[in-house]
């Protein structure tokens, strides 16, 4: 559906530009945007590779295990029915840690592994999400960020005078979204139990 929407918007824009004699401007904008997209992708690839590597080094050094152990009270609160030795706990913790550092791309593999582990131990039909999966997804989407590295990188790429100026507002916004996610999850947990 989204593909049709994008195609329709592009078609309307091209027809509008042709009707008003601005087709050259559209062509120029397409070419300059393509160049900018490639440049931004290369920049973000370097940043992604660096921070994903840092996450892997931390994992290899046992830092993720140590941080996951420190997150036990949080995980117990958020996932009260998930066993203490469940293999998804480490992946959930790694995902949350990466998201807190603003490393959404480094959080994705851990999030996928966590979902696989949660699904593997589920006794529900294959196309049904468990309560833990729903909670994890909601928390992952709300994504508390202490350092919005991706946004800082974007702002730096586009020449911002102070790329890190978004840190405070991003922290407040993600604290509010994560608090709302926790309230919703705990409220739904009460309904699921009842």
Q: Which residues make Cβ contacts (< 8 Å) with residue 122, sequence separation at least 6? A: 128, 130, 133
Q: What is the C-alpha separation between 111 and 104, in angstroms, rounded?
A: 10
Q: CB neighbours (10 Å) of residue 37?
A: 10
| Closest CA relative to residue 121, chosen from 87, 70, 164, 155 | 87
Q: Tell me the whole-structure pTM to 2 decimals.
A: 0.71
For the chain, the distance separating the N- and C-terminal CA atoms, rounded to the nearest angstrom, is: 37
Q: Which residues make Cβ contacts (< 8 Å) with residue 71, sequence separation at least 6? A: 93, 96, 97
Q: What is the pLDDT along the chain (194 residues), one digit of tens a residue?
A: 788 998 899 889 888 888 888 888 888 888 888 888 888 788 778 877 887 788 788 888 888 788 888 888 988 888 888 888 888 888 898 888 888 877 777 788 888 999 999 888 777 787 888 888 888 988 888 888 888 877 888 888 788 899 989 889 988 998 999 899 888 888 876 665 54
Residue 20: strand, helix, or coil: coil
């Amino acid at each position: 559906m989204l593909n049709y929407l994008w195609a329709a918007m592009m078609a309307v824009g091209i027809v509008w530009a042709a009707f008003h004699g601005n087709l050259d401007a559209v062509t120029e904008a397409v070419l300059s945007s393509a160049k900018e997209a490639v440049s931004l992708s290369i920049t973000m690839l370097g940043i992604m590779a660096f921070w994903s590597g840092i996450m892997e080094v931390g994992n290899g050094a046992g830092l993720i295990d140590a941080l996951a152990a420190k997150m036990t009270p949080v995980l117990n609160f958020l996932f009260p029915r998930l066993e203490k030795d469940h293999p998804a706990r480490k992946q959930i913790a790694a995902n949350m840690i990466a998201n807190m550092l603003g490393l959404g791309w480094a959080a994705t593999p851990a999030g996928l592994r966590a979902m696989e582990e949660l699904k593997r131990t589920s006794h529900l039909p294959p196309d049904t999400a468990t309560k833990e999966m729903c909670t994890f997804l909601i928390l992952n989407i709300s994504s508390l960020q202490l350092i919005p590295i991706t946004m800082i990188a974007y702002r730096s790429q586009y020449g911002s005078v102070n790329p890190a100026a978004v840190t405070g507002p991003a922290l407040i916004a993600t604290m509010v979204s994560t608090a709302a996610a926790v309230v919703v999850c705990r409220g739904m947990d009460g309904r699921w139990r009842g």
